[in-house]
Amino acid sequence: MNHSMEIKLYYEDTDCGGVVYYANYLRYMERARTEYMASHGAPVTELMERDILFVIGRVEIDYRSSAHYGETLVVETWVTEMTGATLTFCHTMKEKATGRLIVESRAKAVCVGKNIKPKRIPKEDAEKLR
């Protein structure tokens, strides 16, 4: 099931030309994954209390067009693949008013404990996040 959230773009998100700085899309992806997990009954804070953390092992981003100061992005997030210890999240970011595609991306998250060693995603959490 997809999760959708909006991000309003502020001056601090942009370069001197009013275009969103490319690395900020990584921050937006992180926010979207956090919200996805919470909306699926697996809030990050609760997982952390149970020694379940997710670290990003790989990210792919395709920049399709530029986003600008004052626009609002709609970020769609969903899981496309799950293994015993990984989740692959996909994201699209579109400009809200026009639907213009800004970014398409994929991020592979690896389940680890506080020792940062990979571990299996608990079955009950895997079922929630599918």
Q: Please check whether residue 9 is in contact with residue 94, taking contact to mean a CB–CB distance below 8 angstroms.
A: no
Q: Which residues, including other chains, have CB under 8 Å from residue 48's CB and lie 6 or more apart?
A: none
Largest separation between any pair of C-alpha atoms in the chain = 47
Q: Please check whether residue 96 is in contact with residue 71, taking contact to mean a CB–CB distance below 8 angstroms.
A: yes
- Clarify whether 125 is annotated catalytic: no
Q: What is the C-alpha separation between 130 and 127, in angstroms, rounded?
A: 6
Q: What is the C-alpha separation between 100 and 81, in angstroms, rounded?
A: 26
Q: How far is CA 88 from CA 8, 10, 74, in A?
A: 25, 29, 20
Catalytic residue among 13, 15, 51, 125: 15
Catalytically active residues, by annotation: 15
